[in-house]
Amino acid sequence: MKTFKLIALVVFALLFIPLLTHYYLTKVSDEGRGTGEELPEWVSKLVDVDKLKGKELKLRIEELLRIKLSVSAELRGLEAKRQKLQTEISVLNRRLEEAKGEAGRRRNELDRLQMSLQQAKVAEKEAMERNTPRLGRPKPVPPLRYIPVYPYNAKLSNMYCDMDNCFDYSMCPVAGSFSFFLYPLMYTNRSVSGYSETTVTINQLYNILSESEQLVTDPLKACIFVVVVESCDDYMKNIIPQQLPHWSGDGRNHIIWLHCGGNPYDKSFIKPPEATNVMGRAMIVSENFGKFFFRRNFDMVVSHWEKAIPSGEVWSHLPPLVPAKRKYLATYLGGETDPEVQTEFLKIQQQDPFSFVFQFSCDPPMKRNEIDEGTKRLSSLCENDLLRTRLLLDSTFSIILLPPDNMDVVTTKILQLRLYESLKHGSIPVIIGTRFMPPFNEVIDWSKMILILPVSRITEMHYMLKSFPDSDLLEFRKNGRLAFESYFSSLQRVVETLLATFRTRIGIAPLPYIDLPSPNVFNDTFKPLKLDSFTQDPEEEENLGPIEPPYPSPSFSSNFSLTSLQKYDLWNSHYQPFKSFPFSPWDQPMPSEAKFRGSSIGFRPIAGGAGGSGKEFSESLGGNYPKEQFTVVMLTYEREQVLMNSLQRLFAVPYLNKVVVVWNSPLMPAPDLKWPDIGVPIHVVRTEKNSLNNRFLPFDVIETEAILSIDDDAHLRHDEIVFGFRVWRENRDRIVGFPGRFHAWDLNYGGWLYNSNYSCELSMVLTGAAFYHKIYSYLYTYEMPHAIRDKVDELMNCEDIALNFLVSHMTQKPPVKVTSRWTFRCPGCPVTLSEDDSHFQERHHCINFFTKVYGYTPIRYTQFRADSILFKTRIPHDKQKCFNHSFIQYRHQRLNL
């Protein structure tokens, strides 16, 4: 069978191959003859294949097979060479792309260096042209060698004393710090028989004055001399003030704090005949003053302080601001009134008995049968503080009536007590009588918190009080609460306000807030390891601004204008007159042309003022303020590798001054941890305890106004950081950041809920990625109620909500959200606090607790988001947008649109 198959195959080959060869040779022969070419040798050998025998044919077939194998091997070799060449080409292409990328980076780096060089040249030119010194903190001057004794001048009546002719400014140099000398207690209460015991309240007052940081024990270093006097009648009759050791003959620069009697219903006040010959050129501080003795802008009316809140948090003693309208429209709690005035009050009460409550029998007490039947039920208010307090808490307005004109007084203890109680309980004071002198009125704008009506307006008072809208009522009450908390709430505050008022009067800046030390987590002998190199994020190749050396923000440049130009705002808008800040977010920008006409130092207008986009925009900060930088503050806790990754992403960020890492962990960093060199200093601060409040401490290493607070796991692009910084420069008093949140009302149970869902309005920007002004670090640490910081430590949560409350409370403005970024993702990060199930419950609680502390909810809603100019604008091909990477593109990528 096999032989048969072999014979058939050979026969088929012998028949088919000759035919095929004949056809091909004929065709090739014809083509060859047509072109004049000779046939190949192997073809010519096949021409006579039909003449070959079986053995020779077999050899020819084997030869053809060898030729085939040789050709196949050669083809395989060529294919291998082709693949090798393709591999080399791809490698070269990749190297070419890397070279192009490196060339682009080098070009960007060169552009940045050129921009930095240009900025350095401008800075050098400014330094050469600067003709005014940079101001610093006030430095004390040497004390006077002696205080001369001035002979008493009987012709100079103290009735005409003012700051020009009765105060010696040479003892209070403006370049020094304000200080006072306090006379010992032995001069406080003296009678004919000698020294007598002082009351508890006087001892408290003396102790507070003794603990003041402005107190000096050397009289030669003092600006003023303070003596506290009790039992005024005995003092005036039996003691001559010239016996005070530092009276210097005429009592100049002396402040006599008169506390005349402990009974608030005592109407005694200093009369001119009793004081003219003994007070000399001394200033009087008292709650009681006669109309003809009080010397405006010289003597000082002090607030009531005997019933001030002794200790604890002030907020716990105060009612909330809302509702705007209370149970009663107005309340009057007694006093000496003219019969006609009392008759008018009763008419008003009869017309509207549900809105007005009038009581005429408090001071001095009247017989019960002399009280109108309609007010008998309120007669016990004079003797029961709890009932009087309850009535004030239920009243929108509290009427305070001055004594009759024949008493010739501008203020008494009872008037100051009524004013104090009204502000404390949130009842808007209505003063009947224009001669009333409120406390510290030379610095406090009382028109923002009380109403002063002439007596002739009593018949129209009903209509006027009912005409106020809720917004005005709440504004009056809020201002009254702020003034009460800041200036009158405690004896400590009254003393501080008195000293600050006088210091403002003579034009001396307050002492600055103290920056907290920034101890390095590394000791002096240990040097942390440096990371040799790291890969820069390819997304950060955009040229966003020059890389400049660290440039601190100018500090204390308004030392001498602080007590004049900014006096009103410090006392009546910010309620912070007691300390000075190195810089302020409320400084007003100059007109646009000022930078081109005489005030160009520090300004960096875009393209020299010609404007532009893209390249020109990135070369200069522009805007309305001079050049500046920002500091990154990053809180971390036992996430070293996450921290290192975040630090690396800050490499070559324009306008970055330094990075401050707040090391909250009790464990020191690993010795083999390698820190990246990002072009700016990295200062790692060791903290005393693990507290989220450490994020906002005013460290002395922070030398810029702008602070970028950022979590160690937040991933911000360079263009987002620079854009946020530029937006903050135009909103310096607000929080400017990226992740937005809002507070929502609980429709089922009432109260506030914290909400992190996407929303068309927001009220908070989280400080995990936000810019804010350093002044809020001082306020958060030194001025914000302790209860809020304690709550943050208790829950290890809500520090970002606390800062949002503080800033909105100070500004009455919402934060500013930038870009469409709403949250951050950190793949591979350890579990964070926000992933705990109780996280949101705690934040619900925080918002409601902070509202209770402030008395209202200061955070405001906003429906505004800041995006870059030319954000979605189509521009010519030869122009660039302000930022090459449009934020809308990121948003589309994240949402997979």
Tokens of 6: 């072999």
Contact 358, 293 (CB under 8 A): no
Torsion of Cα atoms, 422 then 426 then 427 then 428, to 10°: 90
Residue-wise DSSP of 769-793: EEEEETHHHHIIIIIS-HHHHHHHH
Distances (CA, A) of 885 to 504, 541, 606, 612, 615: 51, 10, 20, 18, 14
Q: Decide: helix, strand or coil at residue 595.
A: helix
Residues whose CB is less than 8 angstroms from the CB of residue 152 and which lie 6 or more positions away in sequence, other chains included: 242, 249, 250, 280
Residue-wise DSSP of 231-253: SHHHHHHH--GGGSTT-TTT-TT
What φ, ψ does residue 580 adopt, rounded to 5°? -105, 150
Query: Among all residues, which ones are annotated catalytic?
Result: 800
Tokens of 16: 């088919």
Looking up tokens 């809002």 gives: 742
Euclidean distance between CA atoms 620 and 608, whole angstroms = 9
What φ, ψ does residue 155 adopt, rounded to 5°? -75, -25
Q: Decide: helix, strand or coil at residue 109.
A: helix
In sequence order, the β-bridge partners of residue 229 are 258
Contact 541, 614 (CB under 8 A): no
Tokens of 736: 């400017």
Strand (E) or helix (H) holding 255:
strand 254-259
The one-character DSSP state at 543 is: -
The one-character DSSP state at 298 is: T
E strands along 696-834, which residues? 706-711, 736-737, 740-745, 752-755, 764-765, 769-773, 816-818
Contact 682, 647 (CB under 8 A): yes
Euclidean distance between CA atoms 784 and 799, whole angstroms = 12
Other Cβ atoms less than 10 A from the Cβ of 358: the count is: 20
Looking up tokens 């008037």 gives: 415
In a 10 Å sphere around its CB, with 0-12 CB exposed, 13-18 middle and 19+ buried, how is residue 46 labelled?
Answer: buried
Quick check: bond before 669 cis, omega within 30? no
Contact 441, 571 (CB under 8 A): no
Euclidean distance between CA atoms 750 and 717, whole angstroms = 40
Euclidean distance between CA atoms 524 and 526, whole angstroms = 6
Contact 459, 433 (CB under 8 A): no
Write the single-letter amino acid at 118: Q
Contact 753, 745 (CB under 8 A): yes
Strand (E) or helix (H) holding 630:
strand 630-636
Tokens of 555: 């500090």
Distances (CA, A) of 565 to 348, 354, 524, 562, 601: 44, 47, 45, 6, 22
Residues whose CB is less than 8 angstroms from the CB of residue 540 and which lie 6 or more positions away in sequence, other chains included: 649, 651, 652, 717, 718
Contact 808, 860 (CB under 8 A): yes
Q: Decide: helix, strand or coil at residue 670.
A: coil
Q: How many CA atoms lie within 13 A of 713 on its CB side?
A: 15
In sequence order, the β-bridge partners of residue 700 are none
Q: Decide: helix, strand or coil at residue 296.
A: coil
